[in-house]
């Protein structure tokens, strides 16, 4: 049995058959955290005294427990499934935002008459396009190689050594 299998077996003992945590305080913490996304509030909701300065420590300790982290991920996954948000949904909404942001709208005066100018929401269009491009991997950093530090001692009074040094540097730059 590997260390990985042991840790999974040990972790399983913290859960009920329905997937909830056996420790009711930890289960309440996980449920509360998923609602507020605030560790301090989750600690308060599961019974810690908010007037105590140690509440941050308690929230931190609970949030780092593997079984609590696993439960929070499971509850979040259930929420996503319940509201049917997935990658396609997000991409479709981003594309819709781009279309809407790029629509030019006529600028009107106070009486509602067109003044001959048009506006569009370029900032939101750019941000939505950036998110879509990042998701599609369109903006990956190009590998330009690694540079090595080379120390060359040159006797500037020796023209032959200068010529050879230039040739070596030009050759290295070309390759």
Residue pLDDT, tens place only, 51-62:
876 888 888 999
The whole-angstrom separation of Cα 166 and Cα 155 is 13
What is the pLDDT, as a whole number, of residue 151?
59
Ranges of residues in the chain whose predicted pLDDT is under 50: 1-6
**List of domains in the chain:** 3-83 (1.10.10.1400), 87-135 (no CATH)
The whole-angstrom separation of Cα 17 and Cα 45 is 24
The whole-angstrom separation of Cα 81 and Cα 50 is 33
What percent of the chain clears pLDDT 90, i.e. is strictly above it?
18
The whole-angstrom separation of Cα 156 and Cα 162 is 6
CA 173 to chain centroid, in Å, comes to: 37
Report field, pTM of the whole predicted structure over 0.85: no
What is the pLDDT, as a whole number, of residue 3?
46
Judged on CB neighbours under 10 Å (0-12, 13-18, 19+), 92 is exposed
Give the residues across from 105 on adjacent strands: 119
Residue 116 burial (CB count, 10 A): 7
Sign of CA dihedral 7, 10, 13, 14: negative
């Amino acid at each position: 049995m590997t260390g990985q299998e042991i840790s999974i077996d040990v972790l399983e003992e913290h859960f009920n058959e329905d997937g909830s945590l056996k420790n009711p305080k930890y289960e309440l913490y996980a449920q509360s955290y998923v609602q507020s996304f605030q560790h301090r509030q989750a600690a308060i909701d599961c019974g810690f005294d908010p007037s105590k300065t140690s509440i941050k420590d308690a929230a931190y300790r609970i949030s780092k427990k593997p079984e609590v982290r696993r439960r929070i991920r499971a509850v979040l996954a259930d929420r996503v499934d319940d509201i049917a948000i997935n990658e396609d949904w997000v991409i479709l909404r981003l594309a819709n935002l781009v279309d809407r942001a790029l629509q030019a709208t006529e600028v009107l005066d106070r009486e509602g008459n067109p003044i001959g100018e048009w506006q569009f929401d370029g900032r939101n269009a750019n941000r939505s396009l950036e998110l879509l491009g990042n998701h599609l991997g369109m903006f990956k950093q190009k590998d330009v190689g690694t540079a090595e530090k080379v120390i060359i001692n040159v006797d500037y009074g020796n023209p032959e050594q200068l010529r050879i040094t230039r040739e070596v540097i030009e050759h290295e730059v070309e390759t």
